[in-house]
Chains A and B, each alone.
Chain A
């Protein structure tokens, strides 16, 4: 199965016209976020409603570098010109250096998550509390971005990114290379998550999700486990955001706020948060549906979307992957024991 998927994805540039390939690359970016959400939420029980923040941090780090490279040495990015900024802000200067910018793609989200995680998990804030806090973080982040127009491009965000380390993104060949980059990143993130799940940390994480106090009694610090995994999921979102910029050419607050963050989560819920493949498949499917259905039924899409969330939560809390798994095991006439995924019940908050 893995081979079929890999082959299809590898062959996609030959099969798809440039416009569709760009969309597929965008969905794969969301799939990278989904892997992180699978770890934090599916494995760790942390309902992170602020993944957009980390996505944005990574994205802005990359976008800032690309805008600077675009503008050329000594010149300002376009939006600063029309925002009346005359000298390059100090915050931007180091991003001229590609190595620094690439490092920041991972460092910024990781450090933010470590910081918030330490503050929040150490105080045993969990469950719904954590969800609400992470959501407020997304709201505050967007307000901050919008308010600093000279620094961030305000509501417009960073637009018109044309070159990616010398690649012309308007050119189909450039798009193809970026697509493979995204695909490579997805594979790397996938393998990392798989390894992590099988490692000692991964098993501890599941134990923390299912019985935090018991883990504490065993002498582990659940806060450390959760913070670490939260940071990993943030780093993944950061990478996804960084790749989103060359793929789409725009990054603005509209893609990072409360609702987009929720959508990242919903996609994972639909695919199946307990399963790695389910999370990825869900992200691709959800965004595919969102593009496809809103093209076909622009007015009914919102209803459909709402109904979809309700239906999944009611009848398939383990997502499509869960449905498929039970379907397959029924077919094989095996005992209907849930594979890989634990029972759908949440840990009591």
Chain B
């Protein structure tokens, strides 16, 4: 029974990992931007849920998407745009942004955590499965489905894929790559906002919220293969389940170390992550 629970817990941890990494598969995976402020976009989503807690979680989700997304676009227009092709420089740039956003949160909402109460319809659960966890699982899968439809069925999404696979070719084929970049950032940052709302159900809401999740999020994207949606999904659930079982048999500290070791070992076998995007480019 406890083992069965653990399987579900692993899946729900995977869902959390997936949610925090989904946005990064766009900005980091597809555009190559190491956005250290991604964690702070998650934090912004969480604070949105806090501010809107009277209105309801289902309202907070789209609002957080829009707020974090809009901020992402602003960041892209003002700063990141100048750094394409200099992936490593964006890391330091966005680290600066993340420091500023954290301090802003501290000045606006105060240094202590704020309380976000889960809505009444999410308290309780089916047997050992809390509704809040099931909700996050469903939300993560819904986001993945929506993105998949967007990328394969919709005009804008197909353009996004085109730009990702070959920017120059897409550009000469008449795709406005700058617009696509903005859209990618809107989507990537917006998804971080959504993740932030979901995280208020299970974790603390404070200025340093983002720092707890950022390393994990990057690892998922790397393990899944840059920019591969399917890879990220599998990586998130695999690592979630692995983490939950290692933690069950040992402890939480060791589980984190083991997960890291497994990722390094895995990259030995599949250096480009789970799914490789085949291109003819050399480097």
Contact = CB atoms under 8 A, between A and B. Distances in A.
Q: How large is the interface on A (under 10, 10 to 19, 20 to 34, 35 or more residues)?
A: 35 or more
B69 to A, nearest CB: 21
Contacts of A347: 283
Nearest to B255: A143
B76 to A, nearest CB: 14
B102 A302 contact: yes
A269 B92 contact: yes
A120 B267 contact: yes
Contacts of B32: 128, 349
Interface in A304-319: 305-310, 312-314, 317
B206 to A, nearest CB: 15
Interface string B100-130: 1011000000000000000000000000000
B89 A306 contact: no
B264 A306 contact: no
A119 interface: yes
Interface in B262-283: 263-264, 267-268, 271, 282-283
Contact of B96 (A131, A259, A305): A305
Contact of B271 (A124, A212, A344): A124
Interface residues of B, number: 44
A144 interface: yes
A314 B79 contact: yes
A342 B65 CA distance: 41
A204 to B, nearest CB: 17
A307 B215 contact: no
A269 B93 CA distance: 10
Contacts of B260: 136-137, 139-140
Nearest to A317: B89
Interface of B: 28, 32, 34, 79, 82-83, 85-93, 95-100, 102-103, 211, 215, 218-219, 221-222, 226, 251, 253-254, 256-257, 260-261, 263-264, 267-268, 271, 282-283
22 contacts: A119-B268, A127-B87, A127-B88, A128-B28, A128-B32, A128-B88, A129-B267, A131-B88, A132-B221, A135-B218, A140-B260, A143-B253, A144-B257, A211-B283, A213-B283, A266-B95, A309-B95, A309-B99, A347-B283, A348-B85, A348-B283, A349-B88
